Structure 1
Amino acid sequence: MSRPVALLLLLLAPLQALAVETMRIAMGDSQGEVRVSGRGLSFGPDTEDARFSPLSQDGVTVRRRGSRLELNGAPVIGNAVRFRAGADSDDAGVPGSSPLRAGDMQVRGDVVVRLYKDGLQLINVIPLEDYLTAVLGSEMPVSFPPEALKAQAVAARTYALQKKLETYGSPFHMGSSVLHQVYGGVNREDPRTRAAVEATRGEVLTYELAPIEAYFHASCGGRTETGQDALQRDLPYLQAVDCPCGRLPASRWSATVSDSELRAALGQSTEGFRVTSRTPTQRVNRVATSGGASLDGAAFRRKLGYTKLKSLEFDVERTSGGWHFNGRGYGHGAGLCQWGAKALADEGLSYRDILLHYYPGTELQQLY
């Protein structure tokens, strides 16, 4: 049996026992104290077969005292405690359906508070389909056509399961920021996102029987980028394909960077820069600064800021006291283009057709 298939069977083992697939999402860190609240709050150890003990109140404070945890001032055994709302102790192993608030986020499922570095870490243990409902509301406008939302649901589910395989056995599988998939909790849910998730329940994209690395981005500007050029991921299903988003106003942007901003981002000795190479899709591959440094395009964009330089497909000209950029697209450009998915859905394509366009050579499979 190949390693991807063996891991996939291991991944689905909890599903057979609990009738639900879960994700562990890092919500953020706390210095040394966090408030957790929810109706019918209970707590237990951070294990899938834990028995939960009800609390007499709907809110508790977890503090770090040296190398131990305290719950409302009382010591807790172990380096983590898990909370659940609206579930009896007999429901052990099944995430509660009532929302919990931990820190500044309200989420479904369970919340784990664990010792981490010099403070505390919050982890949301949540059913995958509930997680996806909030991810869609965080990652794609809910006003997009249903077929575009369905395509995003499958891509996000596939991405999450691939990350779970990659990090199996770790305290958490992904974060909640743009570095993985943006996840805003209950406040980002919407009836339209839930409908898209339910319509595609259990569907994933695979390549050679394993879930793919289903990267996605907001807008490619008219042609997606290869995985190698965008992410240093030479994957056969992340190829450059034509995209209708190039016709949309949302794919165009401009920005101005002053000389002082450039120096602050790239170094005090920098007075300017020039593009030295581009990828076949005309995205910036490398730049050279006047101070003698050579940077790859991704590093250049990161230093100037992702919201300032929305993509690496840009032209630039020198202005009085600064630099003016005219660009196309928003994001790294690999995989599913969200605005392109909208355009294709508006043209009548199904979510299956959209996915196979942006991830050529993959298969859509019903995993559960």
Structure 2
Amino acid sequence: MWRPVALLLLLLVPLRAPAVETMRIAMGDAQGEVRVSGKGLSFGSDTEDAAFTPLQQDGVVVRRRGSRLELNGAPVIGSAVRFRAGVESSDAGTPGDSAIRARDMEVRGDVVVRLYKDGLQLINVIALEDYLAAVLGSEMPVSFPSEALKAQAVAARTYALQKKLEAYGAPFHMGSSVLHQVYGGLNREDPRTRAAVVATRGEVLTYELAPIEAYFHASCGGHTESGWDSLQRDLPYLKAVECPCGRLPASRWSATVSDAELRAALGQPTEGFRVTGRTSTHRVSRVSVAGGASVDGAQFRRKLGYTKLKSLDFDVEHTQGKWHFTGRGYGHGAGLCQWGAKALADGGMSYRDILLHYYPDTELQQLY
């Protein structure tokens, strides 16, 4: 079902809001100083109705001096300062569209530098739809079919809005790493990602009129995993469903690990190492060693390394002093499978049907 949800918009957009939905994305931390640059650079307070004052230069160094900030050596009032490029006079409202650089990352929108712990924190305030165009280029190959890209756009938009609601009142809503959604800034945009975002503008997935936790991953290996078994999130729309990605070479992987590596991951000797628990989709839920010591599957994968152990759907054998893992899938397995979405799109399925396949019992709704 697809229908507008006006009430959700009131929850997401404050009364004195800019004209478009925005996100606050943590770009990382800095030590004592950071350089911010952009053509026509201006600065103001970190508020949505701030007036911006032109700096008459295209770059500035922000330094921390004790408990205050300095711009090119001049003190400024407050614990944060917000920068915008392309502003020729006093302005307020929606973050700008001109490129602005902080450290080694170029982004659209505004950049906030704030006092944080003993250093500085950088935050990108960006229009949601601009943010999504860069997320798609970071999270999914731009060569994928347009219907797969559209499905990813809706999932990423939904995930972002749910995180924004969850982080209400916090300095930022999400990070820019794989722990949330990978966001590489302006250089990750592509005409195909922009087209997918525009084609699905304002569309979100909801369950009982709230944005869902729209988790996604690279490849499930043939079956997605339930929210509880993969993430300890008992959500009715994160169910184990069949997926065509299991037939693709991209879903297969192998890894060889030495005794020393395995011992470090387990925190125990490797004698008697074996799989002692699996979920209904064959993913490892627990491993054990001689003497009864055991480790949760997700914890074991994290300690051994996500790039080494690409998923928990694996088998293992010990030969010639080494441990050989053979597995299926890449990622936690919950929600949208990106390679599965590609296969379904190649088969003619629309992005809406793809989304409802991976998030059953949800509704696709027009939020704005």
Q: After TM superposition, is the score higher than 0.5?
A: yes
State the secondary structure of the residue aligned to 1:13. coil
1:146 maps to 146
2:254 maps to 254
Counterparts of 1:189-204 in structure 2, within 5 Å, are 189-204=189-204
- Number of equivalences: 364
Cα distance, 1:7 vs structure 2 = 6.8
Cα distance, 1:144 vs structure 2 = 0.1
Distance 1:7 1:123 in 2: 25
State the secondary structure of the residue aligned to 2:24. strand
Checking the alignment, whether the CA contact within 8 Å between 1:52 and 1:88 is kept in structure 2 is: no
In the alignment, residue 167 of structure 2 is paired with which amino acid?
T
Superposed CA offset, 1:79-112 (max 9, x none): 1000000024443122111111001100000000
Cα distance, 1:269 vs structure 2 = 3.8
After superposition, the Cα gap between the structure-2 partners of 1:52 and 1:272, relative to the gap in structure 1 and judged at 3 Å, is farther
State the secondary structure of the residue aligned to 1:149. helix
1:43 maps to 43
2:234 maps to 234
State the secondary structure of the residue aligned to 2:153. helix
Counterparts of 1:176-191 in structure 2, within 5 Å, are 176-191=176-191
1:76 maps to 76
Checking the alignment, whether the CA contact within 8 Å between 1:7 and 1:165 is kept in structure 2 is: no
2:245 maps to 245
In the alignment, residue 39 of structure 2 is paired with which amino acid?
R
Distance 2:38 2:148 in 1: 34
Deviates more, 1:127-136 or 1:54-63: 54-63
Cα distance, 1:264 vs structure 2 = 2.4
Cα distance, 1:289 vs structure 2 = 2.9
- Output the TM-score relative to the length of structure 1: 0.96
Checking the alignment, whether the CA contact within 8 Å between 1:36 and 1:62 is kept in structure 2 is: yes
After superposition, the Cα gap between the structure-2 partners of 1:5 and 1:270, relative to the gap in structure 1 and judged at 3 Å, is farther
2:349 maps to 349
Cα distance, 1:290 vs structure 2 = 3.7
Distance 1:20 1:221 in 2: 38
1:264 maps to 264
2:367 maps to 367
Matched, 1:316 2:313: no
In the alignment, residue 10 of structure 1 is paired with which amino acid?
L
Give unmatched runs, 5+ long, in structure 1: none
Superposed CA offset, 1:39-98 (max 9, x none): 000001100010011002101111111111111111111110000000244431221111
Superposed CA offset, 1:247-304 (max 9, x none): 0000000000001111222226444521110000000001113475321111000000
In the alignment, residue 159 of structure 2 is paired with which amino acid?
Y
Checking the alignment, whether the CA contact within 8 Å between 2:275 and 2:287 is kept in structure 1 is: yes
Checking the alignment, whether the CA contact within 8 Å between 2:41 and 2:55 is kept in structure 1 is: yes
2:332 maps to 332
Cα distance, 1:17 vs structure 2 = 4.4
Distance 2:7 2:192 in 1: 35
After superposition, the Cα gap between the structure-2 partners of 1:88 and 1:222, relative to the gap in structure 1 and judged at 3 Å, is same
After superposition, the Cα gap between the structure-2 partners of 1:366 and 1:292, relative to the gap in structure 1 and judged at 3 Å, is same
Cα distance, 1:235 vs structure 2 = 0.4
2:98 maps to 98
Distance 2:117 2:154 in 1: 35
Superposed CA offset, 1:15-55 (max 9, x none): x8422100000000011111100000000110001001100
State the secondary structure of the residue aligned to 2:360. coil
In the alignment, residue 217 of structure 1 is paired with which amino acid?
H
Distance 1:54 1:208 in 2: 46
1:30 maps to 30
Distance 1:34 1:27 in 2: 12
In the alignment, residue 251 of structure 1 is paired with which amino acid?
S
Deviates more, 1:258-267 or 1:145-154: 258-267
State the secondary structure of the residue aligned to 2:158. helix
Distance 1:294 1:117 in 2: 37
State the secondary structure of the residue aligned to 2:133. helix
Checking the alignment, whether the CA contact within 8 Å between 1:221 and 1:252 is kept in structure 2 is: yes
- Output the TM-score relative to the length of structure 2: 0.96
Checking the alignment, whether the CA contact within 8 Å between 1:33 and 1:62 is kept in structure 2 is: yes
Distance 1:88 1:257 in 2: 58
1:12 maps to 13
Distance 2:143 2:314 in 1: 28
After superposition, the Cα gap between the structure-2 partners of 1:192 and 1:305, relative to the gap in structure 1 and judged at 3 Å, is same
Distance 1:296 1:264 in 2: 15
% of aligned pairs identical? 84
In the alignment, residue 315 of structure 2 is paired with which amino acid?
D
Checking the alignment, whether the CA contact within 8 Å between 1:8 and 1:165 is kept in structure 2 is: no
Distance 2:75 2:101 in 1: 22
Give unmatched runs, 5+ long, in structure 2: none
Deviates more, 1:337-346 or 1:73-82: 73-82
